[in-house]
Structure 1
């Protein structure tokens, strides 16, 4: 029996996606490939100390080899890592990682944006894309774990309807969730 309205239980985007930010930055998004390891490593090396703190919730200044391997070695099914390039310059300017649980009910999202592209709508556009992708794939909840000091990210998430709550076990963190039903 074939279900015509069954959700696509994969996070993969097999083709390039083009998006435009509210400030007019044209983005090209594509899934990460094995050949992107050096570019991804350089991208994260270019983030500020605060950005690294907010993204990894630790004081690290560089990706570990295990973190890099996990970002490159996504299964493109339950875990997808989309790289965002400035269409005008082909520069890697952002990273969008979305990871669904085994039951494909809840997914966590993490976004990093190059310092030169902050306040240009890149993070908002990528989060909005993650919401659309999760909803289209039939996920029920999209979540993000944020440092309470990362007010900018939390404000972006709230504008898209995410609700904040305490994160169990760590008063410095907040859990932001969006019900996709």
Structure 2
């Protein structure tokens, strides 16, 4: 899959941004991005009390395995990293876990809606049957957004502080040369 493919998106309010796959050289902008994310949102994204994102985790976000883990960057028209998204495909190749994080000063612009929609379409074009997300029960904004986008909410097994959100996808037939997002 092409790492240099950029997709232009716009929110309902007219805010424009581009989405592309993360690259090795993006470690510095990812580190900078996470300095603009609240401690609560860091906890929601990583499901743990993370004060800063480690070098190892940043490397993992930039050196994804193309077949299983896809990391996306959303950049404003002036090149500022405003959001990140991850799609991690399970071993069966039928389901993918999604995680998003939005920079604090770019919330309420519709970026989450458009970015999650893009990742869902990408997953569908890969032939996945469903996408899931594991959310803190306290993350009402994410849960509300996901419900509005057709996700169903269930309790997370063995952890009452979490919920599992799931959205079935219409399976598209895989073709050898088709690249999602085109």
In the TM superposition, 1:140-179 aligns within 5 A as: 140-179=129-168
Q: How many residues are paired up?
A: 170
Secondary structure at 1:110's aligned position in 2? strand
The question of whether the paired residues in 1 share the 8 Å contact of 2:3 and 2:23 is answered with no
Alignment partner, residue 77 of structure 1: 67
Query: Which of 26, 34, 40 pairs up with 2:24?
Result: 34
Q: Is there any run of 5+ residues in structure 1 with no aligned partner, and where?
A: 1-9
Of 35, 54, 63 in structure 1, the residue corresponding to residue 53 of structure 2 is 63
State the Cα deviation string for residues 103-149 of structure 1 (Å, max 9, x = none): 21000001111111101100011111111111111100100000010
TM-score in terms of structure 2 length: 0.89
| Structure 2 unaligned blocks of 5 or more | 171-182
CA RMSD, aligned part only? 1.3
Matched residue, 2:180: none
- Alignment partner, residue 50 of structure 1: 40
In the superposition, the TM-score normalised over structure 1's length comes to 0.90
Q: Find the counterpart in structure 1 of residue 89 from structure 2.
A: 100
Aligned twin of 1:4: none
CA shift digits 1:21-49 (9 cap, x unpaired): 11211111111111110110111122001
CA distance, structure 1, for counterparts of residue 22 and residue 123 of structure 2: 18
Displaced runs of 4 or more, over 3 A = none
Per-residue CA distance 1:44-67 (angstroms, 9 max, x = gap): 122001110100111111012221
Q: In the aligned structure 1, how far is the partner of 2:79 from the partner of 2:60? A: 24
Residue 112 of structure 1 corresponds to: 101
Question: Quick one: distance in 1 between partners of 2:79 and 2:116?
Answer: 21
